[in-house]
């Protein structure tokens, strides 16, 4: 086999492992699938995990990184355009929020158009202990998060930095809930006095508009605790 053919086979093996691990993690959680299960689903040798990722933990991170890289790149591209258009003026708070939210929600659908696999994967990730989740979030999302915090500080210069960071944590929590929840779970019980919203047929654009309106109001609210 030529060197080119060997390299392509290695790439194929790596992608098969990533796909198999992602599917198993989405179905069973991050902790349950064994290396043997993953390699069996991928149709490769057990040693391939260590060869390509160094360890099972390295494979988990690679699955996470594959999605984080795509989301971060597009978020930064959109944010740069918003800041460029704003020039010396305050950037639009709604536009910043929409860039942050829309990319994640759309990526979820484009990556897994056939079902809830990616939603389940991130749902399982968020349920893992902090010592598992926090290093991944810090490494793969914190630099982009810092870019958005800087932009939000420009949009809301009157808001103290510590308050802005706390409120942005609530933005991220709202996005995580929306991105990983099934539509039915978003249709919470009501007082019965009003017609329920049909969250199962609501498209991403409508969801994003409602989230932006809600979150922008929260970010703009005066700081109650000094």
Is 182:116 a contact under the CB 8 Å cutoff? yes
Confidence of residue 165 (pLDDT cuts 50, 70, 90): very high
Look at residue 184 and tell me whether its pLDDT is greater than 70: no
Is 69:56 a contact under the CB 8 Å cutoff? no
Q: What are phi and psi of 129, to 5 degrees?
A: -60, 150
- CATH superfamily, with its number, for domain 61-220: Tetracycline Repressor, domain 2 (1.10.357.10)
Look at residue 112 and tell me whether its pLDDT is greater than 80: no
pLDDT of residue 209: 93
- Distance (Å, whole) CA 8 – CA 11: 5
The string of pLDDT tens digits covering residues 125-162 is 777 888 888 888 889 899 999 999 999 999 999 999 99
What is the pLDDT averaged over residues 61-90? 94
Domain residue limits, the chain: 1-54, 61-220
Sign of the alpha-carbon torsion through 21, 24, 26, 31: negative
pLDDT of residue 206: 86
* DSSP secondary structure, 36-92, as one string: HHHHHHHTS-THHHHHHHSSHHHHHHHHHHHHHHHHHHHHHHHHHHHHHHHTTSPPP
Look at residue 225 and tell me whether its pLDDT is greater than 80: no
- Distance (Å, whole) CA 98 – CA 102: 6
pLDDT of residue 105: 81
User: At CA 54, angle to CA 123 and CA 124, rounded to 5?
Assistant: 5
| CATH for the stretch 1-54 | 1.10.10.60
The string of pLDDT tens digits covering residues 186-195 is 555 555 665 5
Confidence of residue 74 (pLDDT cuts 50, 70, 90): very high
The string of pLDDT tens digits covering residues 12-67 is 899 999 999 988 988 888 889 999 999 999 999 999 999 999 999 999 999 988 88
116: DSSP letter: S
Give me 61's structure tokens. 């991170």
- Distance (Å, whole) CA 60 – CA 183: 27
pLDDT of residue 116: 46
The string of pLDDT tens digits covering residues 212-223 is 999 999 999 988
The percent of the chain in helix, strand and coil, each rounded to the nearest 5, is 75, 0, 25
Distance of CA 61 to the CA centre of its chain: 14
Share of the chain above pLDDT 90, in %: 51
Give the number of other Cβ atoms within 10 Å of residue 164's Cβ: 18
3-class DSSP state of 193: coil
């Amino acid at each position: 086999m030529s060197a080119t053919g060997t390299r392509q086979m290695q790439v194929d093996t790596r992608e098969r492992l990533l796909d198999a691990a992602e599917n198993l993690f989405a179905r069973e959680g991050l902790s349950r699938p064994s290396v043997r299960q993953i390699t069996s689903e991928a149709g490769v040798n057990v040693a391939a995990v260590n060869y390509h990722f160094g360890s099972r933990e390295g494979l988990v991170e690679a699955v996470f990184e594959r999605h984080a890289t795509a989301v971060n790149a597009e978020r930064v591209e959109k944010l740069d355009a918003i800041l460029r258009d704003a020039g010396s003026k305050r950037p639009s708070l709604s536009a910043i929020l929409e860039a942050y939210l829309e990319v994640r929600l759309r990526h979820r659908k484009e990556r897994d158009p056939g079902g809830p696999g990616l939603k389940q994967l991130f749902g399982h990730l968020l349920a893992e202990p902090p010592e598992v989740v926090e290093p991944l979030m810090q490494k793969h999302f914190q630099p982009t998060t810092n870019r958005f915090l800087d932009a939000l500080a420009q949009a809301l210069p009157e808001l103290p930095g510590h308050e802005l960071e706390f409120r942005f944590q609530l933005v991220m929590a709202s996005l995580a809930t929306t991105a990983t929840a099934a539509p039915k779970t978003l249709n919470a019980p009501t007082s019965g006095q009003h017609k329920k919203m049909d969250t199962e047929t609501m498209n991403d654009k409508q969801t994003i508009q409602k989230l932006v309106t809600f979150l922008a109001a929260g970010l703009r609210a005066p700081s109650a605790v000094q």
